[in-house]
Structure 1
Amino acid sequence: MFCYQCEETAKGEGCTKKGVCGKSNEVANLQDELMYVLKGIAFYNTKAREHGLNDEKTDRFMLDALFATVTNVNFSADDFRDMINDAFSIRDQVKDKLVQNNIDPVEGRDISLTDQIKSKLLHKNTIDGSSSPDIATVTSQNLDNNENIGVLATKDEDVRSLRELLTYGMKGMAAYAHHAHVLGYSDDEIFKFMERGLLATVDDNLSADDLTNLVLECGSIGVKTMSILDEAHTSNYGNPEPTEINLGVRDNPGILISGHDMKDMEQLLKQTEGTGVDVYTHGEMLPANAYPEFKKYDHFVGNYGGSWWKQKEEFEKFNGPILMTTNCIVPPKDTYINRLYTTSIVGYDGATHIKADENGNKDFSQIIEQAKNTNPPQQLEEGKIMGGFAHNAALSVADKIVDAVKNGQISRFVVMAGCDGRKKEREYYTDFAKQLPEDTVILTAGCAKYRYNKLDLGEIGGIPRILDAGQCNDSYSLVVIAQKLAEAFELDDINELPVSYNIAWYEQKAVLVLLSLLSLGVKNITLGPSLPAFVSPNMLNVLVDKFNIAPNSTVEEDMEKLL
């Protein structure tokens, strides 16, 4: 095992025995093997796409498989074995389709890349069309030949850094594209880029500059992906509205929904209506409280608890069943695993999994019946917090914001988006928010907000000092707001705005958000609580030279620098 894709990786270097997240050595290696076979699918499917022979099944599988390898999504070895077997089957089906249509799968390809793909991905006994070996054979073949199929297969540290940065950006992209696809929104450009990006990670002919350009292109496609997901959410559920979100509980039994999937939220609310069971959001589902389509349900109570990493304590006290729709799931305690449910690409052995039918519909009756026989949630806190300041809401008061800047009421906006995590060092973000001058406004999205969204920082001329745009993918809203402000101030360069960036990261979706900002030319980003282990010293120098990225330091030093 070697994994360093998340911020909490062991010793800031890499997990080699067991993931800090709880991922086993077996699951880590199976994830590497799944990624390996996905590159084989990409090899054939690029050719199929050129000839209009690609299909939605393959596209959706690529999204789901990539998403499944994101930190804290799936911990089940059996699930990954099933996905690997499905990947082999899909790969061979795509190749067979090409052959049946008299299309040479390697025609028009660079010869050296073709040879690399054959040696690294397809194996001698599968190129000629014979049946795929089982995964154990594939693993032993590679180990016997000292051909590690994981991260360390790339020996050059700088090339490895760029390949992994690209890979993690694509994993984040797959997560957002997955959510959009569930709601019927997709774009062929996203799938094309993912296939090209996967193949780039095994192309030894690409230079560091080539890979750097691909990394930035990943950010550009990331902006497009988040835009599509934004359209999917708002088209189905309306534009988020500034909303006071309840933090308390009622006396009815409840179901807690966590993760990011709004379609699951919609189906759960519909199926629980009139049952006497209340619904609460947790973690990154908090923004659901601001969508008009969800606010019409009287049994939708509000938000329960805080960030993902506190779930062991909070899930136990909730008393009712919990539905995990995506990451971040933490290996559960035995005291509540019997009321933990997973769905979609989430998996944990011992939890009950809810599958969708062929039309994407899910039957949550088992969860609802269990909820009816549980006690109401224990009260964790009371009061309300504000949410719902996505781009539509923020831009509706753009004139007010511009005037507040021009007359000196607002001196600066500070983007504090991204992820939360367990490290004590993340208290930095709470302290930073507390110490910001009273004429500054925080723009936030993602679970990083749980470090400060319950602070009473007041308002400036009726504008809350914490404007919460929503989930991590709603970082797109922050980009739109910044671009519109630049237009209002007649600025050609987004970096001339009174906006600073103090970003927290944890997993691969945050990597994509960072790459998206870089692709838009945003500079002077402070990143923490620690820099990614997968960024080599030379690659860090490139990021510093081009974008002036810096690690966070102390609150006082960063305050002086960013303000």
Structure 2
Amino acid sequence: MKDMFCFQCEQTAKGTGCEVSGVCGKTPPVSNLQDELIGATIGLARAVSNTKETEATDACVEKALFTTVTNVSFDDESLKAMIACVEKMKTDLDPSAENYDMKKLWEENEDIRSLKTLILLGIKGMASYAHHADILGYKDPKVNAFFYKALVAVGSDMGMDELLPIVLETGTVNLACMALLDKANTETYGTPVPTEVPLTIEKGPFIIITGHDLHDLKLLLEQTEGKGINIYTHGEMLPTHAYPELKKYPQLKGNFGTAWQNQQKEFANVPAPVLFTTNCIMPVKETYSDRIFTTDVVQYPGMIHIGKDKDFTPVIEKSLALGGYAEDREMTGINGGKTLLTGFGHGTVLGVADKVVAAVKAGDIKHFFLVGGCDGAKTGRNYYTEFVQKAPEDSIILTLACGKFRFNDLDLGTIGGLPRLMDMGQCNDAFSAIQVAVALAGAFECDVNDLPLSMVLSWYEQKAVVILLTLLSLGIKNILLGPTLPAFISPNVLKVLVDNYNIGPISTPEADLAKLLA
């Protein structure tokens, strides 16, 4: 009897699945509770299909899905409370609706399991985007309706012919969800502008904020005004420096550290608290456990959790008590760079589209590479650093998500006054890359697949999965994916992806560049 089964992340044990404990750090009890939560949520979706959804059921499903994304919740008690909440909501709607036993999914025919897993992991990623938009008051009934449809499909007896269209529909609906989040962020905080972000940590009290949530950062900035506390972003919060309504706060100083998987080393003995706002938390080490705070869906046993009131007073008090560094501390990226450039969302890039098109027509820009996605600790991810370093000088590198920390401190120079390396934002901002690709195709009157544009993606968790499904739903082909292909994709399903979209694994930077530029 397996203690657990999970293969939803790229680093899954032996490339097949975690069966003793999670590589991410989750224990068998946590893993099994997460499965129970999803099974109960499928039961709730069945109840809704027999009755009617409400704002409460929408919020419940969205939160349950997001909570089970990798590196979000490691807390047994909060998972049990959420299961109880889902159960009550389901029973109130339809007492006859049955929960789904996730063991049935793990024991399915491998092709059915593969397609159902693509749908399930896809809506987990999508739920994270919907959650962030929802916090800012932006909702899309079509997105919420699809969560129920997808959950019912996962718990159904559907065959491959019925499941395949739902896999692609997951990508299609996610495009609408990402557009909603983009609208929510830009209408609330303004259109991102190119911004140079220092890596030096100034002396005095400070707070590190990590995760993805712009609303939490805004609240923290409001609550630290006039208190002599500086705020530093970490990981996927880096692009927040580019939003006008956030960067106007003088205490938003710079960025601390690199990508999420380095936190256990980088947070050790730092004289400041760290606030986790969404996924990306790793098992907390004793060297910094007294300084970790969580909020929203993130939960970790023994850590102080900031509830719905969003009163960050405990974080502020901890910052003042620790005092920060006595002198300014100069830090660098992994390649030695001292600053990072961000803020090249679709609003900025399309604002200079005429320059981009002119540079392509003049032969100054020969190729675009989108090198983005998740970072991780598994060996092989230096590929992306080497790929960017070896890309021709007449190429533009577009990037987004935390994978960029492998190379975003490199100085690649400019082409026609444009930086060769353009950071388009968080993984939550993948919509920007799609908008730019579509706009370029329109400018050159061709299909996206005919552009001098290559996508070289890295993945780790479920948000990357649903972004991939979105690209496939748009008919985008020839994507290179790494460091490894997902364990949950069966050989037959992989064949479908290869035959229809020519998706393939990365090999070496030299070989892949030669193939993509041929």
AA partner of residue 173 (structure 1) = M
How far does residue 397 in structure 1 lie from its aligned partner after superposition? Answer: 0.3
Partners of 1:506 and 1:323 in 2: how far apart?
22
Matched, 1:375 2:323: yes
Matched, 1:366 2:321: no
How far does residue 30 in structure 1 lie from its aligned partner after superposition? Answer: 0.6
How far does residue 149 in structure 1 lie from its aligned partner after superposition? Answer: 3.1
Partners of 1:151 and 1:27 in 2: how far apart?
18
Deviations 1:382-411 (A, max 9, x none): 732210000000001000000111111111
Give the SS at the match of 1:425: coil
1:541-556 correspondence runs (5 A) = 541-556=495-510
AA partner of residue 340 (structure 1) = I
Partners of 1:428 and 1:251 in 2: how far apart?
36
- Of the three residues 467, 477, 489, the one matched with 1:513 is 467
AA partner of residue 278 (structure 2) = T
Partner of 1:17: 20
Check 1:283–1:148 CA distance in 2 against 1; reply closer, same or farther (3 A cut). closer
Partners of 1:293 and 1:148 in 2: how far apart?
44
Matched, 1:416 2:400: no
AA partner of residue 380 (structure 1) = M
Partner of 1:350: 302
Partner of 2:121: 168
Partners of 1:150 and 1:352 in 2: how far apart?
36
Give the SS at the match of 1:441: strand
1:433-444 correspondence runs (5 A) = 433-444=388-399
Q: Percent identity?
A: 49
Give the SS at the match of 1:417: strand
Matched, 1:534 2:485: no
1:282-297 correspondence runs (5 A) = 282-297=234-249
Partner of 1:267: 219
Partner of 1:425: 380
How far does residue 486 in structure 1 lie from its aligned partner after superposition? Answer: 0.8
How far does residue 41 in structure 1 lie from its aligned partner after superposition? Answer: 0.4
Partner of 1:67: 66
- Of the three residues 34, 37, 42, the one matched with 2:40 is 37
- Unpaired segments of 5 or more residues in structure 2? none
Q: Which of the pair has more CA radius of gyration? A: 1
Question: Do the aligned residues in 2 keep the contact of 1:2 with 1:151 (CA within 8 Å)?
Answer: no
Question: Do the aligned residues in 2 keep the contact of 1:32 with 1:150 (CA within 8 Å)?
Answer: no
Deviations 1:107-148 (A, max 9, x none): xxxxxxxxxx75x64xxxxxxxxxxxxxxxxxxxxxxxxx66
1:89-108 correspondence runs (5 A) = 89-95=88-94
**Matched residue pairs, number?**
507
Matched, 1:391 2:394: no
Partners of 2:107 and 2:45 in 1: how far apart?
19
Deviations 1:237-261 (A, max 9, x none): 0000011111111112100000000
Q: Any runs of at least 4 consecutive aligned residues in structure 1 with deviations exceeding 6 A, and if so which? A: none
1:37-186 correspondence runs (5 A) = 37-49=40-52, 54-95=53-94, 118=98, 121=100, 149=103, 151-154=105-108, 156-186=109-139
Partners of 1:339 and 1:546 in 2: how far apart?
49
Normalised by the length of structure 1, the TM-score is 0.88
How far does residue 561 in structure 1 lie from its aligned partner after superposition? Answer: 1.4
Give the SS at the match of 1:553: coil
How far does residue 350 in structure 1 lie from its aligned partner after superposition? Answer: 1.3
Matched, 1:497 2:451: yes
- Of the three residues 252, 268, 288, the one matched with 1:300 is 252
How far does residue 500 in structure 1 lie from its aligned partner after superposition? Answer: 0.3
How far does residue 380 in structure 1 lie from its aligned partner after superposition? Answer: 2.7
Partner of 2:151: 198
Partners of 2:412 and 2:465 in 1: how far apart?
29
AA partner of residue 249 (structure 1) = I
Partners of 2:358 and 2:177 in 1: how far apart?
32
Normalised by the length of structure 2, the TM-score is 0.96
Deviations 1:86-109 (A, max 9, x none): 11111112227xxxxxxxx8xxxx
Partner of 1:319: 271
Question: Do the aligned residues in 2 keep the contact of 1:33 with 1:149 (CA within 8 Å)?
Answer: no
Partner of 2:8: 5
- Of the three residues 281, 287, 305, the one matched with 1:335 is 287
How far does residue 56 in structure 1 lie from its aligned partner after superposition? Answer: 1.3
- Unpaired segments of 5 or more residues in structure 1? 97-104, 106-116, 122-146
Question: Do the aligned residues in 2 keep the contact of 1:3 with 1:15 (CA within 8 Å)?
Answer: yes
